[in-house]
Structure 1
Amino acid sequence: MPEHRGYLSLRLPGDEIVFRFHEPMCRLLLLVLLLSTSSCRSTKPWLSWGEGGGFTGLQQGYTVWRDGTIEMWRQSPGDPPQTRTRGKLRRTQRQQIEAVYRQLQTLPAYNSPGNYSRFIRRYTSRDTAQWVWSPSDTHAVTRTLQMLYEMLNQNVRQP
């Protein structure tokens, strides 16, 4: 096949199909690709919390992403989560969630699930910390976790 200056040729296996792109078009496609991927939010959330279990195994809760997006989710056993965006955090909400986030950094990990459990997950760039407890648990750590859990729920339910 003759070479064409100013074009990029892409030949697929078997030489059956050849795509030719004019050089300015290649630059435009590359720019569009870069811009479209740069607007994606972080792949890791900031905080996630919820509750569930029991007879149905249904879990539900909230996830707050680093960009401030709040998602409400529900998940039945064996199914992918169903999510719905609830909006973005306001400045006061973000400050309150930051306070909870900082307080979680001081708590030891806790994993004592019951038939029906609550959980909070804190995400960092390196790892994920998780606390799981039964609402009927009376351990001192779970009393603090319950208070933080209720603060998070009140915060995202604000109009």
Structure 2
Amino acid sequence: MFSTSKSSWIILCLFCLVIFFSCSGGREEKADQPTKPENLSIVFGEGGGITGQWQGYTIGLDGEILKWSGRAAEQNSVSAGKLDEAILADLWSEIQNKKILENSGTAPGNMTRFLKIKTNGETYSISWAVDAANSTMSADLDQFYSKCCEIVEKKK
């Protein structure tokens, strides 16, 4: 009889250990909130028109902001501040939530805006006409573009 209760006791202890070690310990998984990739950079700007001039910003891998203007993107760059990791993570979250990388934009117009997002060895280039504001396709792009502009303007 003693051996039966001893084996029952061992089985009960093993069962409790299995339950204990299979619990998550109160940790929450945040699978729906992707972390910012280490190699994220964002170039955004607008231009065209009669002058053919472009202006915009580059947000580098380390959060450094460069303001640029010229006949092509990223010409005549000057330092314009630096973003911290929390802001970069917020921008990445916005890219994911608005599915920016899946957006194909619209045909260029007289004045055109663009985004070039580099991450994980891939480059995503999106352009859309400024006057396409009524397009549902460009609405998310315009909102993200405006957010980027607001963020870098605050860092000046």
TM over 0.5: yes
Aligned match of 1:96 in 87, 90, 105? 90
The percentage of aligned residue pairs carrying the same residue is 25
TM-score of the aligned structures, taking structure 1 as reference length: 0.64
User: Relative to 1, partners in 2 of residues 1:91 and 1:110: Cα closer, same or farther, differing over 3 Å?
Assistant: same
Following TM superposition, by how much is the alpha carbon of 1:75 offset from its aligned partner in structure 2, in angstroms? 1.4
Higher helix share: 2
User: Relative to 1, partners in 2 of residues 1:104 and 1:121: Cα closer, same or farther, differing over 3 Å?
Assistant: farther
The aligned residue for residue 120 of structure 1 is: 115
Q: Which has the higher contact order (CA 8 A, sep 6+)?
A: 2
> For the residues of structure 1 that align with 2:62 and 2:100, how far apart are their CA atoms?
20
Quick check: 2:46–2:113 contact (8 Å CA) kept in 1?
Answer: yes
Which moved further from structure 2: 96-105 or 134-143? 96-105
Determine which structure has more spread, i.e. the larger CA radius of gyration.
Answer: 2
> For the residues of structure 2 that align with 1:80 and 1:65, how far apart are their CA atoms?
12
> For the residues of structure 2 that align with 1:104 and 1:121, how far apart are their CA atoms?
14
> For the residues of structure 2 that align with 1:152 and 1:46, how far apart are their CA atoms?
12
Which moved further from structure 2: 123-132 or 101-110? 101-110
Quick check: 1:71–1:83 contact (8 Å CA) kept in 2?
Answer: yes
Root-mean-square deviation (Å): 2.3
Quick check: 1:96–1:155 contact (8 Å CA) kept in 2?
Answer: no
Length, aligned pairs only: 115
Aligned match of 2:105 in 110, 114, 117? 110
Following TM superposition, by how much is the alpha carbon of 1:84 offset from its aligned partner in structure 2, in angstroms? 0.5
Segments of 5+ residues of structure 2 without an aligned counterpart are 1-38
TM-score of the aligned structures, taking structure 2 as reference length: 0.65
> For the residues of structure 1 that align with 2:82 and 2:74, how far apart are their CA atoms?
23
The aligned residue for residue 157 of structure 1 is: 153
> For the residues of structure 2 that align with 1:104 and 1:65, how far apart are their CA atoms?
21
